[in-house]
Structure 1
Amino acid sequence: LIEEHWENIMFCSDDKHPDEFIKGHINELVKRAFKMGFDKLKVLQCAGLNAVNHYGLKVGMLQKGDDADFIQVDDLDELSNIRTYIKGELLAENGVSFLPHQRPETVNNFNATTKKPEDFKILASSGKIQVIEARDGQLITGSIFSSLKIENGIMISSASDDILKIVVVNRYADAAVSCAFIKGFGLKQGAIASSVAHDSHNIVAVGVDDESICKAVNAIIMAKGGISAVSGMTEKLLPLPIAGIMSAAPYDEVVAKYTDLDKMAKEMGSKLQAPFMTLSFMALLVIPTLKISDKGLFDVEKFELI
């Protein structure tokens, strides 16, 4: 496509992990295209000029009379030591910004109240129940049926069978918690939770026991957004105070906390490449096959609640 239709190609990214931004963004796609042997001018046009033309942006053309907005690099193949100029002034070099830090106004409509462990209980039902099957590295899920252990009339997770509880908590208004079961996360203890949950961005959590799930969810509710992990007495949180999905903290601080949470989830037993990324798509109701909303399990193929 780049060789034949470079005027109509635009580079972009979607749902990159915070730790991936340490390596780069569009510049990484440019370097990859260079290494594949594509014409450098065509690649650079895909990375910059095409988006400017498509969206009618008044930047990036370097025409007579335009502001001097451009980047400068020491090595075109590796795009090393990138220097960014805005209106002719050097404002960033090699990942370090010279702009004064401005903390944005925090917009947050997090209205959920803290929960109790009993809010996450699922009453026993006869026969097998439908279970979401998470698949590593995929947005598509499977749908299986399984029998679960019952204690005192309550269905409980089975870490040995990798069938854990998944919940969605409405974060815009107080409502009953939506609870179901999921296979594929591999946790042997504790729980993980996140308010990054496409596309409604309610709180989604997966865990071995209700107490851990409750702690992980409440950590996010009290922070008005974030990513959390709980295992016994250990609790970790990456706060996301801007709309419950973004942070104003320095990127290296966000990366460090995200990396620590990812490591903790894997130490808790998850074999997923990116447990929190997989978690964030379990409530996306437009990608097959079986997902969960704040109102219950959702059959995407039939496009109806179960």
Structure 2
Amino acid sequence: MNVDLLIRQANVFNTFLKQFEVKDIGIVDGKFFFANTMDWSTVNIKESMDGSGKYIIPGLIDIHMHIESSMVPPSIFSKAALTHGVTTVVADAHEIVNVFGLEGMKEFFKEDTEMDIFYAIPSSVPSTTTELETTGGVIGLDEVRALLEHPRVIALGEAMNFKGIVHEPDSLIRNILRETQIKRPFLPIEGHVPDVTGEDLARFLFAGITADHTQQTPASIYEKISNGIFVELQKKSITKENIDVINDHQLYEYTAIITDDIMADDLIEGHLNANVKLAIACGLPVEQAIYMATYTPARRMGFQDRGAIVSGFQADFIMLDELEAFTIDSVYKAGKKVHQKGEPIGYPEQKPSFPSHFYQSVQGKAWKREDLQIAVSGEKAICNVIQKSDVGTFTKWVQREVAVKDGYLDWEASGLSLLVVMERYGKNGNQAFALVENGLKDKGAIGTTWAHDHHNLMVMGTSAEDMIVAQQELLREHGGYVVVQDQRIIANCALPIGGILSDAPIQELGRDLQTVRQAMVDLGYVNTNEIMSFSTLSLPVSPAIKITDRGMLDVRTHEIIPFIEKVIQ
């Protein structure tokens, strides 16, 4: 018998006992052959190494994430995430699909990666309906049927349309859920279930949704798990209070650690491993943290060949120097070393390539000052306003009084920020306005085409001149993230592929995005994740009030909220 790699006397994680044992590991043809102490003298060993003092755990498995959040294609993402011990992901590519439809998904399938990337069908493209937001692509029943036949599709991506799921039995999302259950009755169905409780939660379950990854509280974790929902913990849900309820009630079997969204600048520093370390710091026992980042996610997605170190499983594993600190020495994929501590993040041998129209996807007319003027026939106006939170992505619906000057709303002197979403696919030319409280404190503007999930062009500012510069730059470079002050671009992260991706090395992209992030902070934008906070002001399925190219929406009812509630003469 030939053994490709033998690792002797390492501390090996036993998934089923949730403890470490000193063992030898033999690897044959990319799979674990044996994990125990035995007589290897009769075996032909190609390579042997001493694992004494090292800790070996299965490769990390992230079952709910969006590659596009890293702002790079799958091949570049794979190189970066592997350095952090992530060997398998299940990606919901609803960002690229919102821009290019099924074509975007097919282009992702073509990408060659070392990491195993499986996919969830984007179930909510658009996240609401075509009447409420304009997207470049739409996923309907025909597209779902086609994707259900693809061998790398192993789940239905997060179902997000609250009204369609709870109140409209004949909605597109309900039809997609039914079609999935008929064609692939055992396919995991992911949910987007923020701040949903009681009867509404029961309606989500009744529709077939069995998991939630949104922001949690101790009460929501307990209610959801006790009602059969599998809870996936992203960073903002990994708090001491939430970990306490998991520990107190021994809820480890029904939870997994995931990322959901990791920005390019953060990806340089860590991925799922960073959330594992955070969970340990918040009080999760290290063995349970490993279990919840390897085996429970594997079981959730039905993997029968990974998530544990046992004979016959794929030899994806991490060698750790220190257990509690979770410091990675090396990463192995299918028995081959793909990263060694100290090595830089690599770049694919072949630069990612997409169809030419993927690089020319942002359309629209350049703004002039009159495009940002809002005529009002009165002295004052009571405006409906989006109140941005300093933590997380939830918002509140408030009303504020704004003065009128020379027949136009004097928003620049209001202490609020003007937010504009412009349809950028060349379909209808829609443009919607909102005012934001707790936006920018100083004079300037922020603009992006990375606007969840429709990815229209979005600009927020306290100066019309700065907003115009931001919008025109986004049109010129066909997408990105820009910050403008005094009519000068002070930070720019170009995203020319569909307005949401770049093929630049992750180190360069991360540097540019970090510059944008700092520029936002310098203008007074406050949030624990500035990029995600701004980008989700346009996400009409995240509580409580958001904006699309059609206008402001009440996320629960999907009613359009008027910009001006009342004019005072």
Aligned AA for 2:350? Q
Query: 2:304 aligned with 1:31, yes or no?
Result: no
User: Contact 2:444–2:485 at 8 Å: present in 1 too?
Assistant: yes
Equivalent of residue 92 in structure 1, options 325, 339, 350: 339
Aligned AA for 1:281? T
User: Contact 2:347–2:505 at 8 Å: present in 1 too?
Assistant: no
2:478 and 2:312 map into 1 onto residues whose CA distance is 46
Which structure 2 residue ranges, 5 or more long, are not aligned? 1-245, 562-569
Partner of 1:208: 462
1:185 and 1:297 map into 2 onto residues whose CA distance is 16
Query: 2:350 aligned with 1:102, yes or no?
Result: yes
Shift of 1:88: 2.1
Shift of 1:228: 0.7
1:37 and 1:277 map into 2 onto residues whose CA distance is 26
Query: 2:474 aligned with 1:220, yes or no?
Result: yes
Count of matched residue positions in the alignment of Structure 1 and Structure 2: 305
Shift of 1:227: 0.8
Shift of 1:170: 1.1
Partner of 1:234: 488
Partner of 1:40: 286
Equivalent of residue 290 in structure 1, options 522, 538, 545: 545
2:361 and 2:440 map into 1 onto residues whose CA distance is 30
Q: Secondary structure at the match of 2:253?
A: helix
Q: Secondary structure at the match of 1:96?
A: coil
Partner of 2:250: 4
User: Percent of pairs identical after alignment?
Assistant: 26
Partner of 2:534: 279
Shift of 1:146: 2.7
1:33 and 1:276 map into 2 onto residues whose CA distance is 23
2:330 and 2:430 map into 1 onto residues whose CA distance is 51
Give runs of aligned pairs for residues 1-306 of structure 1, distance below 5 A.
1=246, 4-36=250-282, 38-57=284-303, 58-94=305-341, 96-97=344-345, 100-106=348-354, 108=358, 110-117=361-368, 118-126=370-378, 127-159=381-413, 161-173=414-426, 174-235=428-489, 236-306=491-561
Question: What is the CA deviation profile of residues 112-150 of structure 1, one whole-angstrom value per residue up to 9, with x for unaligned ones?
Answer: 224222323222244322222212113222223333343
Shift of 1:301: 4.2
1:167 and 1:251 map into 2 onto residues whose CA distance is 30
Shift of 1:38: 4.1
User: Structure 1 residues 66, 273: closer, same or farther in 2, change over 3 A?
Assistant: closer
Shift of 1:199: 1.9
Q: Secondary structure at the match of 2:322?
A: coil
Q: Secondary structure at the match of 1:112?
A: coil
Residue range with higher mean Cα deviation, 281-290 or 89-98 = 89-98
TM normalised by structure 1 equals 0.87
Shift of 1:29: 2.7
Q: Secondary structure at the match of 2:321?
A: coil
Question: What is the CA deviation profile of residues 33-90 of structure 1, one whole-angstrom value per residue up to 9, with x for unaligned ones?
Answer: 4445544333211111222222133434444344422111211222223411123221
Q: Secondary structure at the match of 1:198?
A: coil
Question: What is the CA deviation profile of residues 173-232 of structure 1, one whole-angstrom value per residue up to 9, with x for unaligned ones?
Answer: 251321222211133212101222222121221112222112212222222221111112
1:115 and 1:249 map into 2 onto residues whose CA distance is 27
User: Contact 2:397–2:545 at 8 Å: present in 1 too?
Assistant: yes
Pair member with larger Rg: 2
Which structure 1 residue ranges, 5 or more long, are not aligned? none
Shift of 1:248: 2.7
Q: Secondary structure at the match of 2:425?
A: coil
Q: Secondary structure at the match of 1:254?
A: helix
Aligned AA for 2:337? L
Q: Secondary structure at the match of 2:459?
A: strand
User: Contact 1:6–1:42 at 8 Å: present in 2 too?
Assistant: yes
